[in-house]
Structure 1
């Protein structure tokens, strides 16, 4: 497929997403099934067009004067991919599968100046979240939004139980991997422009042998900040598919004990194969049965709460969720988070550490939750995050990461990672 056909397909997929209200991944898969002539490169390019359109939906709509699927996709082609209205119209005229020729108004969108546009248009954030984001980032909130609207890198965590960064870098040399900037066992492959394809590293021999896992560098950083040590008794209360359980096991050198638990049995399902492939021997999976954790009350050195959240920190990877988030969903997540903090506290012994993590950038899910917990639980105190950073990552913490409430907040703009929050509390 040439560019005109790919643009037409992206418009079709984005229309499907908006009219049927289904996830982008589902719409792209359905299009691929119905159009089997399209190759892997075509599908990747169409996916890039759709995701780029959603990442910068408000700014592209402001430039084009419309938020229709056609306007958004054309904006990506001209404003992100470097095409001009002249080059597109010439290509469209020579391709029977092309969209209709650009109008004069659409052509003007290629060079529209957004410097005087509304802060919402410039930031590519949902309008109703502006007060929250301004509270989180102050005058930088628009710049944070722009960074959040970019493409993410592909990040890997080397499994120290089986390999070294050098070994994995050699195995993946064909993809030009680079050492991660912060995470000591991190490897990254920056995103490419236009129709660049993300490397399929899970087919690599090293992945099959458990040498590495796909994990955003931000997730690696907060897992390291959890501070798990050899010989400790640790509970991963919201283990899900086990990404942080695997990272904790490597940090602990397979010594001590990790109890991996999740309230959703289906989310836990992949963890068994992942533990085996990674060579993890110190993790015990506790399914969500009644009383499954009763024997751990008051006995643990560390409890990690990777809390369910709005996922605002992952908007680069799942931009469609940015526009689906509602105040009602945020309130639901806040309620779940507050209950999990109370639950987690039960399992700690005196002197134990509660590790609170979200993949959110909203203060309502982060500092506000910790402030409310501390007010209701005076037997806990905040641990110095700058000190914890130095101990875990063997470097000084970058400026601006510590929040007003004493946690840390990672973002694409600050750390070139997904958005993550981490706060450590000690049970006195």
Structure 2
């Protein structure tokens, strides 16, 4: 008769095998397991990041710091953490669009349905079947919860946090969506992945705004993904020219990773890009009112930032384009209801119009809100 310890080991093995099979059936590419105490340095590193102010205006990171730094604070009963990876590798290098001045660059991950919804739905399917089989409690999390997914994924062996602070996989490069399942079940634990970056600094050198003060450290306040998605209000004028035509996120550091050569493009059942989001026209995007914005980006994560913040980003791309054919769409936005949109229209026109044209426009303007007036003053000074 098997000893109790043998029975426990066999139960662990069977439950872990069942979990991996369910993950594969739901289209996940990777599924590995770690312990809730596997990231002991994470709280210290998170505290350092926040203390330095590198989280920018993401106050939620500070508010959830304790839960984010230790999974057991989030759920005291958790015994195993299962990390899932879903490949979203693009068909080609997404940086090719950066030279097309009439087109807008949307980050690869946002060119289809909101991945939060896609992954959470699949995780719930896995969790439901696993809970029924194991008779244990489960919770699933995708990005929006206070879970440090990247350190946990490294501890579970999905990959390692590269110098750009994102997860890098030997099989999928830098193109992985992550999700997690917390459970009260005891499972077989996988080995952590070690760092394979070596002396490479391709991701650091690729950053347009120099957002990495050092390898493995990021300052969100200079990151285009943060600026175009999380940041509200006007964007630092010094950084605007560096944004180019990136209107939602930035793939440069991810796309530069040499490990991407091992990553195939995402399969059909996963996340294929919408054709109309691969290279949308800047001129078209400048015409979107709130209703048109919501309709065009229905189901997309882009919709979450709202129309005004989005058009702010598009106006920056217009100002960086050097294209006179975008002057008229920008002029129409001078009458927009949003101060942040009007302000960015001023900035864009200051870069697109000839100096004498812009001076005439400035003379004829009406007094506006302080943030818009500040844009006029900067533009008139050539800033």
Structure 2 length as normaliser, TM-score? Answer: 0.28
Structure with more strand by fraction: 1
Structure 1 length as normaliser, TM-score? Answer: 0.26
The structure with higher relative contact order (CA 8 Å, sep 6+) is: 2
